[in-house]
Amino acid sequence: MSPSNIHKDFPILFSEQQIAERTAEIGRQIDADYAGKSVVLVGVLKGAAIFLADLARSITVDCTFDFVAVSSYGKGQKTSGAVKLIKDLDLPIEGKNIIVVEDILDTGLTLCFLRNLFEQHRPRSLRVAALLDKPSRRLEKIEADYVGFKIPNHFVVGYGMDYAERFRNVRDIRLMPPDYPEMH
């Protein structure tokens, strides 16, 4: 098999259709919660970029986007534990209704770090939308307000999520085989 479609061997956890249906449901919930208001979707690069693109088009309330980038994971499947801001917000969020959009809420270190950072800017409100939630891995006391799917402790790729920067463009969410070799 060529390296470009090796992911076809990885089991599908959520299909494109399941992701689209769940994203639409979250969009309707956000529309109801923020009726008559404006929201700023703050995507966490790079993993949440695709979820943010689909979620933003599932909501009809007035909305703007911004992105931040943090690093916490190395090349492989293990976290280094430390979170570092690599790209800050471009737009002021003071007095705004913020929804932080994440691909996965795992240990919670990233979202805790971001929540503390954003709260210093005094937004009007701050909520979190996470496509996936791995509650069993949590180290920090943080929950998402909107969750796509709760999953057990498996490493996943696709729909924005990478392994060593690959597989972000895979359209469904797939389970990474635990014995997959480290790539360089």
Annotated catalytic residues are 106
CB of 176 to ligand 5GP, least distance (A): 7
Residue type, 10: F
Query: Which parts of the chain fold into alpha helices (H)?
Result: 16-33, 49-56, 109-119
CB of 161 to Mg ion, least distance (A): 7
CB of 110 to Mg ion, least distance (A): 6
102 closest CA partner among 91, 92, 113, 90? 113
CB of 171 to ligand 5GP, least distance (A): 15
> In the complex with Mg ion, which residue's Cβ is closer, 22 or 31?
22
Is residue 103 a contact residue for Mg ion (CB under 5 A)? Answer: yes
Q: Would you say 109 and 140 are in contact if contact means Cβ atoms under 8 Å apart? A: yes
Which residues, in sequence order, are bridge partners of residue 73? 79
Interface ranges with ligand 5GP (CB under 6 A): 47, 72-73, 79, 102-110, 155-157, 161-163
Backbone angles phi, psi at 27, to 5 degrees: -60, -45
**Which two three-digit tokens encode residue 133?**
């939630």
Site string for Mg ion, 42-81 (x = CB under 5 A): --x--x-------------------------x--------
User: What distance in Å separates the CA atoms of residue 162 and residue 155, rounded to the nearest whole number?
Assistant: 10
Stretch that binds Mg ion, among 37-45, 92-100, 149-157, 176-184 (CB under 5 A): 37-45
Look up tokens 């790729």; give the residue. Answer: 157
User: What distance in Å separates the CA atoms of residue 131 and residue 134, rounded to the nearest whole number?
Assistant: 10
The beta strand positions in 46-145, using DSSP E, are 62-73, 79-87, 97-105, 125-133
Residues contributing to the site for Mg ion (CB under 5 A): 44, 47, 73, 103, 162
